[in-house]
Structure 1
Amino acid sequence: MKLTAITLDCADPLALAAFYRQATGLELHPASDAGFAALESENGLSLAFQWVEDHRAPSWPDPAVPQQLHCCFRVGDLEETETRLLRLGAGKPEYQPDPGRWRVLTDPAGHPFCIVGGLVEPS
């Protein structure tokens, strides 16, 4: 088996794809539309976004609406990347489990994701 895609539910696939495109530099798949959009990496893994009626954003760390899934991204400079992602529209929850090692941010649709600095893996 080979993992080929990770797909996030959302209310606006093209807007969420635009955020992650700016964040990661991945290219938008040419067949992307309002119902389904995807970003493609050189290694064949796609990050995709699908429209879901009445999407409810996760409420992490409050379990009322579970996080459902989160992605982690390794970054060279934690502070610089956090600042850039916040400018792009990411949110930053008040609760941060280990801000010296990684940061939990949320994308514009509310999905939590982590940025991990250096060579340290989150536990």
Structure 2
Amino acid sequence: MDATAPASAGPAGTVDALVLDTPDPQGSAAFWRYLTGGIVEQTDDDGWITLALPGGWSLAFQPAPDLVAPRWPGQERPQQLHLDLLVPDVAVAVARAEALGATVLRENERWTTLADPSGHPFDLCLAEDVGSLTVIGLTFDVPDASAAAAFWARLVGAEVVHDADGMAMLSGPRALLFQQVADYAPPRWPDPAAPQQGHLDLSIGPLSQDEAQERALAAGATRLPGEGRAFRVFADPAGHPFCLCQF
């Protein structure tokens, strides 16, 4: 980095895990573990469970007894984000997901959208060159895909590798995607009337919390209420909460 660059220059952290709110962390973790072949990598006394998924993603579940579940594709209670999974045979994968408790929401020629038992949508997408299910990335609903991709590229130090027709994507082993949605309805966490459905945890690595916060704010984030010894809560310009964490 240029020695004359401001202290706020550079990424604030790297993607560590997607955290889903759920009234039943044990049940949600069991569904995703059996669906994906994931491995339990962490359990906490407060009910938090983390899985390691194929493709390098970590998926965590935090207790949320009052979760306001999405009802996709409507926009009254819209999805805020969803996982995209690659499978060699969509029909086989859908049948397995349904047997585990998923609900089909919409079928397309090369992918099917489902909801997990807590109501979180996810896509099973055809990729004939993969041998088994793997995670391609996390997709955010946003009002402006280009702006969202630019913000997250600054925040995590990634490159925008696609930006066209209302879709954008960042590089990296844990890819982030952004789809532009008309009449976008953002989360307003911690407002219980429009809570988050999930959020990203970012690892700040060797940075201090103050240094990471300075970089996040410089990138365009907003500080939200909520912090602990090892985390602080922020929102991206589209309202999606995320945490900067010291692990």
Give the TM-score taking structure 1 as reference length: 0.85
- 2:243 is paired with a residue whose SS is strand
**CA-to-aligned-CA distance 1:34-55 (integer Å, 9 cap, x gap):** 50101010x3x31011011111
Q: Which runs of 5 or more residues in structure 2 are unaligned?
A: 1-132
Q: Which runs of 5 or more residues in structure 1 are unaligned?
A: none
After the TM superposition, which residues 8-87 of structure 1 pair with which residues of structure 2 at under 5 Å, given as runs?
8-29=140-161, 31-41=162-172, 43=173, 45-75=174-204, 76-77=206-207, 78-87=209-218
Q: d(CA) in 1 for partners of 2:152 and 2:227?
A: 23
Q: Single out whichever of 60-69 and 79-88 deviates more from structure 2.
A: 60-69
Q: d(CA) in 1 for partners of 2:134 and 2:210?
A: 33
User: 1:16–1:111: structure 2 CA closer, same or farther, 3 Å change rule?
Assistant: same
Q: Would you say 1:91 and 2:225 are equivalent positions?
A: no
Q: Decide which structure has the larger Cα Rg and report it.
A: 2
Give the TM-score taking structure 2 as reference length: 0.44
Runs of 4 or more off by more than 2 Å in structure 1?
Answer: none
How far did 1:66 drift?
A: 2.3
- 2:223 is paired with a residue whose SS is coil
Which of the two has greater strand per residue?
2
How far did 1:97 drift?
A: 4.0
How far did 1:63 drift?
A: 2.0
Across the aligned residues of Structure 1 and Structure 2, the Cα RMSD in angstroms comes to 1.3
User: 1:34–1:83: structure 2 CA closer, same or farther, 3 Å change rule?
Assistant: farther
Q: Which residue of 2 aligns with 1:6?
A: 138
Q: Which residue of 2 aligns with 1:107?
A: 236
How far did 1:3 drift?
A: 1.4
Q: d(CA) in 2 for partners of 1:91 and 1:110?
A: 9
State the identity %. Answer: 37
User: 1:57–1:67: structure 2 CA closer, same or farther, 3 Å change rule?
Assistant: same
| Matched residue count | 113
Q: d(CA) in 2 for partners of 1:114 and 1:62?
A: 17
User: 1:12–1:34: structure 2 CA closer, same or farther, 3 Å change rule?
Assistant: farther
